[in-house]
Amino acid sequence: AGIAGTLRDVAGAFGAAVPKPAFDGVCTGRVDVCHADTSLGRLRAVGRMYGATVTDVYLAALARAVRTWHLKETGAVHPPLPVAIPMSVRAPGEEQAPGNRMVTARILLPCDEESPQ
């Protein structure tokens, strides 16, 4: 496989067919907003319990929220949701260095899973 195989895999992942999210439809002019507040300390504590980062905990909660909303609205499970997230590429010890060092990663939120992990 080597580098050529890896490049094919990466290119295929970007072109993979993904079902459209339920809210990717015609705009009706109606907007509903919902939010929940929690502390950073709580996110960190949950992350420590599961060996996860704060971002992992946030994304799992978001996937669960989309799943719950879609099940309530349609009675069906929402397909995995494509999202783009920032990822730090700082080396250890560079946490306080000025400027941003990040890339954007595309992932699929597992909205179709009962308990995203």
pLDDT at 22: 64
Which of 10-19, 32-41, 58-67 is predicted least confidently?
A: 10-19
The number of CA neighbours under 13 Å toward the Cβ of 3 is 0
Residue 88's beta-bridge partner residues? 102
pLDDT digits (tens, 9 = 90+) for 50-73: 999 999 999 999 999 989 988 888
Please state at what angle helix 54-74 crosses helix 40-50, rounded to 10 degrees.
100
Percent of the chain with pLDDT over 90: 24
Main-chain dihedrals φ then ψ at residue 87, nearest 5 degrees: -130, 130
Mean pLDDT of all residues in 10-36: 70
- Whole-angstrom Cα distance, residue 96 to residue 90? 10
Sequence letter at residue 112: D
**Radius of gyration (C-alpha) of the chain in whole angstroms:** 18
Closest CA to 53 of 12, 90, 88, 81: 88
Taking the model in full, what pTM does it have?
Answer: 0.68
pLDDT at 114: 81
Higher pLDDT, 67 or 29: 67
Considering the chain, what is the average pLDDT of its residues? 82
| Domains in the chain: boundaries | 39-92+100-112
pLDDT at 102: 86
